[in-house]
Each structure stands twice: as C-alpha cells, then as structure tokens.
C-alpha cells in the first residue's frame, strides 16, 4: 500500500489545483525551448555524464558557490533520501509540522524520530529553540541528523539565519540539513548557503524544481563543506540520478539565460508576496484563520468545515486545496493553500464565499 501523501495529485474534474506548492508563474519560455531542443537532438538516447561536471559548474556559477561542494540531485526530494539512507543516523530530529517525507523515510528505515513542535502563536509558527536546546543535550552522544525546512512546509514560517547558526552550534555533533526548497520564492529571506563554509556540520538542500516550476524535469542540489560526508553522499548517489534531458536543459539555462532566470526569480518573489497578501486578507475577511507565511503557500484553519468537507464542496468549482490533517500536530480543520495568480485566487475566494465555507 502506498502511504505517502503529497499535493498535486488532482482528482478528475479538478482544473484549479491549490494543493501543489510551486512557483505559480509557471515555467519560462527559455526552458520550454531548451526542452524542445533537447528532444530534437535526442539527448535522451545518451547517458548523462555521471559526474555532472558541466551541471555542477553551472549551478555553482549561477548561485555564486563552490563547484566542488555541490551534489546535483533529482529534485530536492532525492537529497532527503540520500541524507537519511546514506548517513544512517541513530536518530532523526525534525521540527514539526513539516514536510512528511522526512518522517516517512526515517520510519521506512527504522530510524527513531525525535519531533520538536514549532511554537504556535496567534497567527504564526515559530522555531522552538528551547525545545531544540533540550533535545541537543539528549542526542549529544548519538549520530543524529537534524532536518529542518526553511521556509517551512506547511506553516510557511521562516527562521532567520541567526537561529540556524544557533542550531548548528547546539547540534555540533550532529549533521544539520536545511531544506531550502522554497527559499528562492521567499522575499527578504537569507539563504543558509553562506553558512556552509563556517559550519562543517551544515548541509543545504535546494530545489530548482520549485523555483523554475518544472516538477516533471526534477532538479535540485545539496551544498556542504564536510569532505567525509560529501564523499559518502556522492558514492551513495545513483550514478545517473538526473536524466540527460534535464541536465542538458539546466546546464544551458543557468548560463545562457542566467540574467533572464534571475529576473524571473525576482518577479516571482514579488508576485507571490502580493498574491499571498491578497489571499491572507480575503480569507481573514471570511473569518478563516491564516498563519503568516513567507512561502508560496499559506496554512489556514477553518472554523466549522473540515478540510475534507471543504474539498468535497470545492469540487463543484473544480478546485482542490491540500488537506493538511496528515501533517503531525495539525487538525482536520487545517489546509495548505498554494499561492496562484490573481484570477485563480479570486475564483478560490469566490467559491469559498458562495459555498459559505468558514
């Protein structure tokens, strides 16, 4: 039986998917063109370079980081599996509610999970630093892996760099993996990529899938300075983890279209911030609780309707949101709503209004 739960698996008849957390601007024309070129050249009939030398270099140049510390990935999802399966930690420390795959993969491998709950304030979640300090003492003599999503899925809360430095220090004997799948879509968020050189125990995970809206191509990378860990992960990675088509497209896109891509990321952040404000305000006017978010989605809590009932009702309008009850510590009334473009967002709010969803 398949036990994973993710957004983006839209039931028949759904035309407006608010369950997938991704850049709502969609993929750039430059990416479409490169995919077409790759197909025309039948790139897929060749093995990709298993060392991904060119791809590593282009990722490094685009993000201003060191090529020899980059591990290219088949989406950020692969980095989570690699870290958990290949580092074989004695325990996985997670801050929840968060992305379910952390827990799912540890459970599948029989790795004990230590869950630290985020602190829920009136309208936002906050990293529980005191809880983290207590747990860090308890795992001091273990080989633990600390995994944190920033900004966090599904709460949308962002933990500042000073807090991440503090985590790296208190968990000095553990590996600390910071999953920044959504950071490029977060306005005024600082990336932890800069921490890697000063903190040997820190690794950063990034998703180009989310940023450039190509979930079907799948691409991401890990960035870390610890040579021993780097070698373990590199040796454990599947040799051809990124298909030749994706490798071709991104090696070219990140160099030839670098300035266009940078502008796209900037525009995306601005649009997402505006649309998130629109959705937040509109939901609050409907009496629905909304948590403050820095991500391309918001977490809401309905008053009278469970998210399952909300989705049943929204089907009439061809709309689906993510029932967030599967996330640890959340309730049947929580839902994660992806930020889309204005016309779609207005349709969602209108549907809520007509259906009287509270």
Ligand X SMILES: Cc1ncc(COP(=O)(O)O)c(C=O)c1O
Q: How far is the CB of 40 from ligand X (least distance, A)?
A: 26
Query: Of the candidates 16, 76, 127, 348, which one interacts with ligand X according to CB under 6 A?
Result: 76
Taking CB under 6 A as the rule, does residue 72 contact ligand X? Answer: no
Using CB under 6 A, pick the residue from 19, 21, 159, 279 that binds ligand X.
Answer: 21
- Alpha-carbon gap, residue 318 to 240, rounded angstroms: 39
User: Considering only 72-80, 228-236, 253-261, 326-334, which stretch makes contact with ligand X by CB under 6 A?
Assistant: 72-80
Q: DSSP state, 185?
A: G
Q: How far is the CB of 6 from ligand X (least distance, A)?
A: 7
Six token digits for residue 65: 């980081």
Measured in degrees and rounded to the nearest 5, phi and psi for residue 333 equal: -90, -10
Sheet containing strand 70-73, edge to edge, reads 70-73, 220-224, 202-207, 175-180, 144-149, 91-96, 113-117
- The smaller minimum CB distance to ligand X, of residues 149 and 282, is found at 149
Q: Does 99 bind ligand X (CB under 6 A)?
A: yes
The two tokens of residue 30 are 């430059």
151 counts as binding ligand X under rule CB under 6 A: no
Sheet harboring 334-338: ordered strands across? 16-18, 319-323, 334-338, 297-301, 289-290
Q: Locate tokens 């993710």: which residue?
A: 6
- In the bound complex, which residue of the shown chain has the CB atom lying closest to ligand X? 75
CA distance 182 to 32: 22
Q: How far apart are CA 121 and CA 210, in angstroms?
A: 28
Q: How far is the CB of 228 from ligand X (least distance, A)?
A: 24
Q: How many residues bind ligand X (CB under 6 A)?
A: 14
Q: How many CB atoms lie within 10 A of CB 318?
A: 15
Q: Measured from the CB atom, is 210 or 351 closer to ligand X? A: 210
- Calpha distance 307→335 (Å, rounded): 6
Among residue numbers 163 through 222, which ones bind ligand X (CB under 6 A)? 179, 181, 207, 209-210, 215, 220
In the region spanning residues 313 to 342, those forming contacts with ligand X, defined by CB under 6 A, are none
CB of 21 to ligand X, least distance (A): 5
**Closer to ligand X at the Cβ: 302 or 336?**
336
Give the torsion sign (CA, 55, 61, 67, 71). negative
Binding site residues, ligand X, CB under 6 A: 21, 75-77, 99, 149, 153, 179, 181, 207, 209-210, 215, 220
């Amino acid at each position: 039986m398949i036990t994973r739960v993710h957004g983006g698996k839209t039931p028949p008849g759904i035309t407006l998917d608010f369950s997938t957390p991704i850049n709502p601007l969609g993929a750039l024309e430059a990416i479409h063109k490169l995919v077409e070129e790759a197909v025309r050249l039948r790139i897929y009939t060749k093995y990709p370079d298993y060392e991904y030398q060119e791809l590593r270099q282009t990722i490094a140049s685009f993000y201003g980081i060191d090529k020899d510390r980059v591990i290219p990935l088949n989406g950020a999802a692969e980095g989570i599996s690699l870290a958990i399966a290949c580092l074989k930690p004695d325990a996985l420390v997670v801050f929840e509610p968060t992305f379910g795959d952390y827990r799912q993969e540890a459970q599948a491998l029989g790795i004990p999970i230590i869950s630290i709950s985020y602190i829920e304030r009136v309208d936002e979640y906050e990293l529980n630093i005191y809880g983290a300090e207590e747990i860090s003492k308890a795992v001091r003599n273990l080989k633990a892996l600390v995994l944190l999503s920033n900004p966090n899925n599904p709460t949308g809360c962002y933990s500042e760099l000073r807090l991440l430095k503090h985590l790296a220090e208190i968990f000095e004997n553990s590996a600390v993996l910071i999953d920044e799948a959504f950071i490029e879509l977060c306005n005024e968020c600082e990336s932890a990529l800069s921490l890697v050189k000063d903190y040997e125990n820190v690794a950063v995970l990034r998703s180009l899938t989310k940023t450039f809206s190509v979930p079907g191509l799948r691409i991401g990378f890990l960035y870390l300075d610890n040579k021993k860990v780097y070698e373990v992960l590199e040796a454990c990675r599947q040799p051809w983890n990124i298909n030749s088509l994706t490798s071709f497209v991104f090696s070219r896109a990140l160099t030839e279209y670098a300035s266009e891509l940078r502008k796209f990321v900037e525009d995306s952040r601005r649009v997402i911030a505006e649309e998130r404000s629109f959705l937040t305000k509109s939901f609050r006017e409907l009496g629905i609780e909304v948590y403050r978010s820095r991500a391309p989605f918001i977490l809401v809590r309905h008053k009278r309707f469970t998210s399952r009932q909300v989705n049943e009702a929204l089907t009439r309008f061809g709309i689906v949101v993510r029932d967030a009850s599967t996330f640890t510590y959340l309730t049947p009334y929580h839902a994660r709503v992806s930020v889309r473009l204005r016309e779609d967002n207005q349709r969602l709010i209108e549907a809520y209004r007509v259906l009287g969803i509270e």
